[in-house]
Amino acid sequence: MRKFDTQVQHLKYKVLREVARHAFDGTLLEHISDIPKEIVPGDTSAMRCCVYKERAILSERVKLAMGGDRKNPNVIETIGIACDECPVSGFEVTVNCRGCIAHRCEAACPKGAIYFDHHKAHIDKTKCVECGRCAAVCPYSAISNHRRPCENACKVKAISRNEETNAAKIDNEKCIACGACVYQCPFGAIMDKSFILDVIVKNSEGNTNYRVYAVVAPTISSQFTYAKLGQVVSGIEALGFYHVVEAALGADIVACEESRELVEKGFLTSSCCPAFTDYVGKLAPAMREHVSHNPSPMVAIGKYIKETTPGAKTVFIGPCTAKKAEFARSEAAEYVDSVLTFEELQALFDGKGVDLPSLPEGVLAGAFMPSSS
């Protein structure tokens, strides 16, 4: 980590870091309104039209870093005030139109939305239904679909335009919380909720009241390239976790059970990815019967830890936003208490002042079996 693909990601990290820092210091409530000024000091805006709008957007980011709208079940939310720079999406005739006499675009349009002025094609937006047939037949590729990056990223078509505000709108009935829109939005107007405050609270008095286990995805080995894996393990324990356990242990449990289920059913798809299972449930319901009835590795190892260590808490740490949606499901909530992404873990390290390269190498518990002792 610490290397960000875009300035949007870096900005998101800085908000998470400052929220974490104040939470660790016990000063969050009194400094909530100060965080935007800490990130954007002075009177000059770094990215927006003015410093006041920039800070207003940062205030919304702070809310999402603290859990977001609890009434909204989706872990992906839009920041309306940040979503105002993209052009209205839709098909447009570009300057590439040569005014040909074939008029294939007109013939292909089922709604009669194509008309001509001085031999050039135009689209009547009051009739256009965005089917794209005109673009498909244009020999000059003169008709382009200026879709917003978030809409292009969303493969389940869960994002549309709010007619009143022109901002992006997420249909929770279609959204599978994959996070593609979060990554692709160039203005950072879509963000996943963070539960870092829940995790900080769950670290219970040095694990004396109850033990808090970090269950890490295997990809953790490639995320923090400026430190050794053993130092990352030590860093997680320095945050207050009792032990760091591989989610791969849960994968072993699931693979064993799924092999039996495959023999019984003959055809089986995995239940490991919550975005995939959501996709099947919402957009391909006929496939539901073929999805494995076994839990995901995250839930499987969480279940094992809780059954063998009474009172334990489990926090999954991985790369995926959809895992945040999964742990809220009834079948997972009993075994997984919270979920962090790797960028949130980095924010926790820096918020608490944990310097990974200076730490000794701890042991990732690949063969660890928790006990009640």
Do 7-84+149-193 and 91-145 share a fold?
yes
Give 91-145's CATH code, choosing from 3.30.70.20, 3.60.130.10, 3.90.1150.30, 3.75.10.10: 3.30.70.20
The number of angstroms, rounded, from the C-alpha of 271 to the middle of its chain's C-alpha atoms is 19
**Residue 89's pLDDT is what?**
67
CA atoms of 130 and 136, how far apart (whole Å): 12
Q: Determine the straight-line distance between the first and last CA of the chain, rounded to whole angstroms.
A: 35
CB count within 10 Å of CB 299 equals 28
Choose which CATH entry (3.40.50, 3.80.10, 1.10.1160, 2.40.128) describes domain 197-358. 3.40.50
Environment class of residue 244 by beta-carbon count within 10 Å: exposed (0-12), middle (13-18) or buried (19+)? Answer: buried
> Which residues in the chain belong to E strands, given as ranges?
76-78, 91-93, 114-117, 120-123, 143-145, 159-161, 168-170, 190-192, 212-216, 243-246, 313-318, 338-341
In DSSP terms, which residues pair with 216 in a beta bridge? Answer: 246, 317
Cβ-based neighbour number of residue 363 at 10 Å: 13
Alpha-carbon distance of 167 to 159, in angstroms, equals: 10
pLDDT confidence of residue 367: 47
Predicted pLDDT of residue 122:
95
Question: Which sequence spans correspond to the domains of the chain?
Answer: 7-84+149-193, 91-145, 197-358
Inter-CA distances, 366 with 135, 296, 300, 301, Å: 54, 18, 15, 12
* Dihedrals phi, psi of 95, to nearest 5 degrees: -70, -10
Q: What's the pLDDT score for residue 1? A: 55
**Which pLDDT score is estimated for 363?**
87
Structure-block tokens of residue 97? 């139109």
Per-residue model confidence as pLDDT tens for the chain (373 residues):
567 888 899 999 999 999 999 999 999 999 999 999 999 998 887 778 789 999 999 999 999 999 999 899 999 999 989 987 676 668 999 999 999 999 999 999 999 999 999 899 999 988 998 899 999 999 999 999 888 899 889 999 999 888 777 788 999 999 999 999 999 999 999 999 999 999 997 767 778 888 999 999 999 999 999 999 999 999 999 999 999 999 988 998 999 888 999 998 899 998 999 999 999 999 999 999 999 999 999 999 999 999 999 899 999 999 999 999 999 898 899 999 999 999 999 999 999 999 999 999 998 875 455 454 4
Domain 7-84+149-193: state its class: alpha beta
**β-sheet with 338-341: strand ranges across:** 243-246, 212-216, 313-318, 338-341
pTM of the shown model: 0.86
Q: How far is CA 322 from the centre of its chain?
A: 6
